[in-house]
Structure 1
Amino acid sequence: MPAIGTEFTMFVAYVTLTLLAVAANVCIAAVDYTRSPAVLANMDGAGVPRSWLYPLAHLKLAGALGLLAGFAVPLIGVAAAVGLVLFFSGAVFFHLRAREYRLQYPLTYWVLAAGALVTGLAHRGI
């Protein structure tokens, strides 16, 4: 009986973290598309060219859609989660390289993506 409860708990954790990661990435992509002054200031502080704004927003949105697709095709979800983890690892790198130590935003998204990846793999027994 404990194994069934553990499997259900892992499924709930996977769905919850994945949906949180989807929502967070859709929201931040939408904020990027509006050219929010806060996002532009964050990019400037990290030394990211403003010309990268829309391509980066596209990647965040693609990652979110990939996570959703992962409910139907698990391999797509794993690839999307790995992509988002790498994406936000790059964001942390850019911040650190620019000696910009306000990492709460990239690390929050990184944790959500990593959580979706780890719980997704654990839910599937990988």
Structure 2
Amino acid sequence: MPADNPPFADASFPWDHQPPSPQPQPQPDRAARQLRAARRLPVRITLLLLAVHAVIVLLAAPARAVLAQPLAGPFNVGLGLLLAQLCMTAGVAVWYGRYARAAIDPLTEDRESSLPHPEGQR
């Protein structure tokens, strides 16, 4: 066997392997950034609503005396907080419907119209 041609010269070893060059990530276009920005506000409001709900639930046990304080007639603080939470939830649901129609739907329609239809032109 010649000395200049070692055995397994053409074999590849795991430590010789070069990782593939990373593919450049596609940058989101302007419409995608606008859509993402338009969705941030509803997420923040939803998180705020969940935080209010969590505070009311967490107050139920340790602040029972505070929640039992009468407000007007048979209504106490706990019932007032519950009704306020119900009104906030309904208000946020109505607001989101209007917001989605006005701010999110036009952005998604623009984005969908720029994408090719999967079944081709009809």
Alignment TM class, shorter chain as reference? 0.3 to 0.5
TM-score (norm 2): 0.39
Whichever structure has more strand as a proportion of its residues is 2
TM-score (norm 1): 0.38
Q: Which has the larger radius of gyration?
A: 2
Whichever structure has more helix as a proportion of its residues is 1
